Structure 1
Amino acid sequence: MNNKFVFALLFKLAMNLVLAWAAFGIIGRNPFTYIIALGIATTVINLVLGDLFVLPRYGNTVASVGDGLLGVLTALVVDQLVPEFATTPMTLLIYGFTILVGEFLFHNYLLNSKLITR
């Protein structure tokens, strides 16, 4: 694993943590522990499915939309499993959209730096 990939992975984790905190911490007032868990889960799921599988095969737009939807689905699963964590349509919309935009920009970095090839 090269340093560029490690940096990209840490950046993706930080981005997902900030986006989860903005949607579900600031707006949704959820416990920070579950926001961290959601950010980590979203990072891992989107890395494996979005960045390593979908992005090289179908391109940035499809991968970004998929990452946004996977983020929302992950938040809904956490909502169902954890009684102390709650989502609303607004927090889900904000989370999904911000992930879509963030991942679109992140995918451009991955493709331009040749960490992922199409």
Structure 2
Amino acid sequence: MPAHGSARTGADQAAQVPATVNWALACIGVLLVGHVFAWLYPPQGLTDVFHLVWGVAYAWLALLLRRPRPWARAWLTGLLAVQFTGRFVVFAVNDDDVLLRTLVVIGWLVTLAVFILLWSPASNRYFASARA
């Protein structure tokens, strides 16, 4: 603990990040890989703009989770919820593309894991500490 009540350093605070948040960050990394794959997967078009914008937003918000920033968790959860819902459309429209449908299912599972990890009791305590 820092002497004389001084503010915690970045290293001190990073050491206090619970495993649930670190695992959520790893899962978000998997989702980011999915966005990169989507840029490479034909056809290219307007959806690439979506993947670029949302990929950057995920990365930025994920970095803020290590500080902790409760509002970043809320925004990230909202973005993931929108994409989780949008995957239903991608799944339905691409009924002949087994690879893409498999990736959509994997995306659903990874997103569910992020939701569970970010809103677990350990994560809740961590994000509540930012308000203290």
**Is this a same-fold pair by TM over 0.5?**
no
**What band does the TM-score fall into relative to the shorter chain?**
0.3 to 0.5
Hey, which of these two has a bigger chunk of helix by percent?
1
Q: Give the TM-score, by structure 1 length.
A: 0.41
